[in-house]
Amino acid sequence: MRIRIVDAFTDRPFSGNPAGVMLLDAFPDDEWLQKVAMEVNHAETAFAHRLPEGGEADWALRWFTPAAEVAMCGHATLATAHVLATTGAHQGPVRLATRSGVLLATPREDGSITLDFPTAPLTGTAVPDGVAEALGAEPRTAFDTGPNVGDLLLELPDEKTVRGLAPDLKAIGAYSSRGIIATARAEDPSRGYDFVSRCFFPNLGIDEDPVTGSAHTALAPYWSPRLGSAELTGLQASPRSGRVRVELRGDRTLLSGRAVTVIDGELLA
């Protein structure tokens, strides 16, 4: 079976967020899918298979971290859409049936891909006791991001604070089902981004995720009213780094970026 490693939300290899992608005839049992994801050992591995014509979706899609299946993953969806488009497995917009409903991925003439995802419902909450110590910084605000994302969203004082975080990963796992999104306004928007973020998901076996599409379905509704625009660019300031263009459309959020295939091989197991 063919397996590919794709760097998502980047236009160059060895940056952005890597994802495994496998196009299958059908989904094997969950144990096998989990073992493959553990072997690939990236934040997510995406498994997809074609659906019969005439239905509400064209392909079925599932995402697994090395430790568990997840309800939503932006970068592995972008990686899958990239593989479908570049291999000719699917032409034009593709509808993907997932645990988060039917998601639309649309290739653009400039080589980017736009994902149509549900906007995360944000609920303000008190900053939990101990989270500042666990994160290593004092948050200004805290928001729950709902069941699909499953993170605690924390705004920090400035970009420098976000970039300098060195959290206690074991401790921050206690504050949400997946992990923590730390964010701040961009220090200098002329650099081409409006806000920064970093994402820590110890509960899924991911210390720090390089670029997180699903987190931007929460970052878009958070920053849009604060920065006065429905269209923004986020920089995820991980060591690999990557940019996500977002457009807030009510209960839907558009995420746009590029992807690069870096490994194309054969799974023998």
Q: Which residues are catalytic?
A: 44
Task: Indicate the burial class of 252 (C-beta count within 10 angstroms; 0-12, 13-18, 19 or more).
Answer: middle
Instruction: Give the single-character DSSP code of 167.
Output: -
Q: Phi and psi dihedrals of 207, rounded to 5?
A: -60, -55
Query: Exposure string (b/e) for 132-158, b if CB count within 10 Å is 16 or more?
Result: eebbebebeebbbbbebbbbbbbbbee
Question: Chain-centre distance of CA 89, in angstroms?
Answer: 23
* Amino acid occupying residue 258: R
Contacts of 31 (CB under 8 A, 6+ apart): none
Supply 87's token pair: 């291999």
Instruction: State the sign of the Cα–Cα–Cα–Cα dihedral 7, 13, 15, 16.
Output: negative
- The CB-side HSE value for 81 (13 A sphere, CA atoms) comes to 31
The helix/strand/coil state of 90 is coil
Beta bridge pairs of residue 59: 50, 96
- Cα dist. 161→166, 173, 197 in Å? 10, 20, 10
